[in-house]
Structure 1
Amino acid sequence: MEIRLLRYFLAIASEENISKAAKLLDITQPTLSRQLKQFEKSLGMKLFYREKNKMRLTESGQLLKSKAEEIVFLSDRMEQEFLNRKETVLDGTIMIGCVEADNSDTIAMFLEEMIRQYPNVRFSIFSGTSDTIIERLDKGLLDIALLLEPISAEKYEKIIFPRKERWGLLVSSESLLAEKTTISVNELIDIPLLCSSRLEIQTMIQSWLPLENQKLNIVGTFNLIFNVFSLVENKVGSALTIEGAITNRKNENMKFLPIIPEIQTNCVLIWKKNNLLTPTIYNFIDRIKKAFES
């Protein structure tokens, strides 16, 4: 499957019109129509429904579109990486995945420093859950990722950030719990809880309990903390979270209670082992390493 044909296909999908796509691609309409027919024939499936002045994707076309976008993106990045290696001045784009955490401002600090030194460097930050970020990292759609431990890191190189993330309970300001300044691990047992949907996090939280057979009353799970703010405010449950995930989102309707004895988690910067990275990305990783070693 040629990259050229995927570009033709994506242009038609975007413009929904052969003539407009041909103009965008700077080729003739008959040529594009012929290429599309040959492409569909080679795949053994129709990619578009033909209407009078519009081309609509079939179900097969929609599936191909999602994959084609990734393939073309990776192809463009690879070409750019080889071009970058010919240059003495660092440039290009750093693709970063980032979870909700206090250490995200550390990443921002290093980006600011690097861009000041190398004005041609650009960056793109993707925020999401750890599972989504790892999936994109494995596909090559991200270069590096800032994640919250615990994670399975056998496939990755990593840098442990020195500043730890503090765990606590996010409660409604109208609940009796809001009268407290901290909350103990034992007190969590009788509280309706909302927690991360990640199995690794749930296992870690369960390990906090002093007795092996004790169970937490988990009434709901979430992937991103802001999705349950209204549930916390309305006292459906209290959310177990790190303080850094809500630092810039605190409001008078909720209160964060640190857990005692204090429980902390590391943030880690990871990237795939044995992966060919651009000089720009190597430089970015290296400056973080040196900063934490000093």
Structure 2
Amino acid sequence: MIQIEEKIKEDFNHDAQHITGLITIGCGEALGVKYLSQIVSRFSKDNPLVKFEIITANSDTIKNNLDKGILDLGLLVEPVDITKYNFKKMAQKEQWGILTKSDSPLAKKSLIKPQDLINERLLMSNRTMVINEIENWFGKYYQNLNIAAYYNLGYNLVHFIKNDLGIAFCLESIDEIRDLTFVPLEPKLESRSVMVWKKDFILSPAMKKFIQYINDHHI
């Protein structure tokens, strides 16, 4: 409560000529962060007295913190329920695939089909809505999968993949890792990033201006 109270005071600390305040954004691990960072950077140069706090978490945690008032904005990764939020979907879509060691036979493939993963140990997202999407993609093969572990964020997966716990079923945004290779799925499975904020919520001057900035720019 103290944290929220201090944040509110800072958010509304402004004068008529200069917008100030703190905007707290929760971000998942997605390509949408790349485009969000460009918007934040341009906005910050135009409004140097506005500060940003960037917090990395999965979509479920971000939604929970939005509802509590800890976060102002959330960058969520579909599939996700956004019915109770105002939102702006990003144009860029992101592919799902596998992340595996570069010397693996699967790394030599151009595309991964469901049957290619039957005998592999897999690391899967622990989000229910994502699991449902993955189950639908695998179809009849899903019941025969060997799931070694579930994860909530992708960055730490690198160590477990390199130490042979399994192959990660993940988004392409975490593929730029030395000695690991990302291979997209066939049939294609894609997700989009969505910027959300609470409906019917009193916005600080900084938030009003930033949301207008988001709406005025193509992302």
Fold agreement, TM-score > 0.5: yes
SS in 1 for 2:168: strand
Q: Write the letter of the residue equivalent to 1:80.
A: E
CA contact (8 A) 1:165 1:266 kept: yes
Structure 2 residue aligned with 1:265, among 167, 191, 213?
191
> Which gives a bigger RCO, structure 1 or 2 (Cα 8 Å, sep 6+)?
2
Q: Write the letter of the residue equivalent to 1:290.
A: D
Partner deviation per Cα, 1:175-226 (whole Å, 9 max, x = no partner): 2212222212332333221111111111110011244875533221111212
Partner of 2:9: 79
Partner of 1:290: 216
Q: Write the letter of the residue equivalent to 1:280.
A: A
TM-score by length of 2: 0.91
Q: Distance in 2 between matches of 1:166 and 1:284?
A: 28
Alignment of 1:74-223 (within 5 A): 74-84=4-14, 86-211=15-140, 214-223=143-152
Assess, with a 3 A threshold, how the Cα gap between structure 1 residues 256 and 213 changes in structure 2: closer, same or farther. Answer: closer
Unaligned runs of 5+ in 2: none
Q: Distance in 2 between matches of 1:80 and 1:172?
A: 46
Matched, 1:274 2:203: no
Partner of 1:27: none
Report % sequence identity.
Answer: 32
Q: Distance in 2 between matches of 1:291 and 1:115?
A: 14
- The structure carrying a bigger helix percent of its residues is 1
Q: Write the letter of the residue equivalent to 1:169.
A: I
CA drift at 1:82 = 3.6
Q: Write the letter of the residue equivalent to 1:208.
A: W
Structure 2 residue aligned with 1:256, among 167, 172, 182?
182
CA drift at 1:147 = 1.0
Q: Distance in 2 between matches of 1:288 and 1:99?
A: 18
Q: Give the superposed CA RMSD.
A: 1.9
Alignment of 1:48-87 (within 5 A): 71-84=1-14, 86-87=15-16
Partner deviation per Cα, 1:139-179 (whole Å, 9 max, x = no partner): 11110010101112122111110001111100122322122
Partner deviation per Cα, 1:62-83 (whole Å, 9 max, x = no partner): xxxxxxxxx1122122233343
Q: Write the letter of the residue equivalent to 1:283.
A: K
SS in 2 for 1:231: helix
- The structure carrying a bigger strand percent of its residues is 2
Q: Write the letter of the residue equivalent to 1:183.
A: I
CA contact (8 A) 1:167 1:241 kept: yes
CA contact (8 A) 2:11 2:22 kept: no
Q: Which has the larger radius of gyration?
A: 1
CA contact (8 A) 2:11 2:20 kept: no
CA contact (8 A) 1:96 1:126 kept: yes
Matched, 1:225 2:154: yes
CA contact (8 A) 1:173 1:233 kept: no
Q: Distance in 1 between matches of 2:147 and 2:141?
A: 16
Q: Write the letter of the residue equivalent to 2:4.
A: L
SS in 1 for 2:31: coil
Aligned length: 219
Unaligned runs of 5+ in 1: 1-70
Alignment of 1:4-19 (within 5 A): none
CA contact (8 A) 1:206 1:216 kept: no
